[in-house]
Amino acid sequence: MSTAVVVFSGGQDSTTCLIQALQDFDTVHAITFDYGQRHSQEIEVAKSLASQLNVASHKVMDVSLLNELAISALTRDAISVSHELMDNGLPNTFVPGRNILFLTLAGIYAYQVGASVIITGVCETDFSGYPDCRNDFIKAMQSALVQGMDKALEINTPLMWLNKAQTWALADKYHSLALIRDHTLTCYNGIIGPGCGDCPSCELRQNGLEEYLHQPEKIMADLEEKLTANE
C-alpha cells in the first residue's frame, strides 16, 4: 500500500495537496506545525479540515522553539505585514529555517509511519520570495533526508510549477473549489476564506481565483497539460 505524509497548514495550497493525495495514495497522514505563528487559528482550521477529509491521522507538533529563534512578521504580532521587501530582498513574512525544520520533522514522521513520500505545497512559479520554496532547496532537502536516514524518500511538490490560477483549477478538478475558497486559511492576518483582502497572500490568492473564474476552460486545459507532462 502507498503511504504519504502531507505537510498541512490548513491553507489553500496544502489543503489542495492533501485533497489530491487522498486520491493518489492508499494512506495519507497529515502533519501540522504549531510554531506560535501570527494566526494561531491556523491550527484549528487544519484540525477541522483534516477531520472533515478523513485522513488516516493528523499530528500537530509543538515547534515553538522556531518562534524563539526566527524573527518575522509571522512570529511577532508587533511586526506589521509589509508589501515591501526588506533590505535583504526578502518579504518580512519569511521565517528563516521554517521549511528546513518542517521537512526534517516530516521526514522523521514518514520514517515512523512507513511513508515513502512527503508532500508539501511550496511553489516557485508564483514566487513568494521565500528561498525555501524553490525547487533547488527541495532537491537538497530530499537528498539530505535520504542520506541521513538511509531510506528511499521522495519530497513531492505538486504545485511547484503551477501559478495560482492553476492551483484553483486543481482544486476544482477534485470538486473542492468551494471547500478551498470558503474554509481554508491563507490570510496573513488570520481571516478564514476570502481573508483580509489586503495582505500579499490574500492578493495572490484572490487574483488567481479571479483569473481562473474568468477563463476556467483555458486554465484547466493548461493545468491538464502540465499534469500530463509531469507524469
Question: Which residues contribute to the annotated binding site?
Answer: 8-18, 187, 196, 199, 202
Beta bridge partners of residue 119, listed in sequence order: 6, 156
Q: Is residue 191 within 8 Å of 154, Cβ to Cβ?
A: no
Beta bridge partners of residue 31, listed in sequence order: 7, 59
Size of the chain in residues? 231
Q: Is residue 46 within 8 Å of 10, Cβ to Cβ?
A: yes
- Cell numbers at residue 7, please? 505537510
Element (H, E) at 20: helix 12-24
Question: Which residues contribute to the annotated binding site for Zn(2+)?
Answer: 187, 196, 199, 202
Question: Which residues contribute to the annotated binding site for ATP?
Answer: 8-18
- Cell numbers at residue 11, please? 491553507
